[in-house]
Amino acid sequence: IGQDILDVTKRRNRKLKDIDIEINGYIQKFGKLSPILYEFLTGKKLDINNDPSSSTSTAPPSNSTDSEQPLH
């Protein structure tokens, strides 16, 4: 009986994994069409070339060097 349950759960997990892969594929296709939709579905920002968000991420290191200068 235990083996049957294991087989069923394995089968179910495999199906879920396939569905996840399919959903991710669709999300990536939609992401190419609409970065905003992609961000809405995944909660992740889609970087296309130079996004304003990616340029702001380089700003904090320059600020940290400014804060180090008074120590010298």
**What confidence tier does 65 reach under pLDDT thresholds 50, 70, 90?**
very low
Burial class (CB in 10 A: 0-12, 13-18, 19+), 46: middle
Domain ranges of the chain: 1-47
pLDDT tens digits, residue range 5-58? 888 888 888 888 888 888 888 777 765 667 776 677 778 776 655 445 544 444
pLDDT at 60 exceeding the cut of 70 = no
| Structure-token pair, residue 54 | 């990616």
Higher pLDDT, 72 or 16: 16
Kindly state the DSSP code that residue 66 receives in the 8-state scheme: H
pTM: 0.29
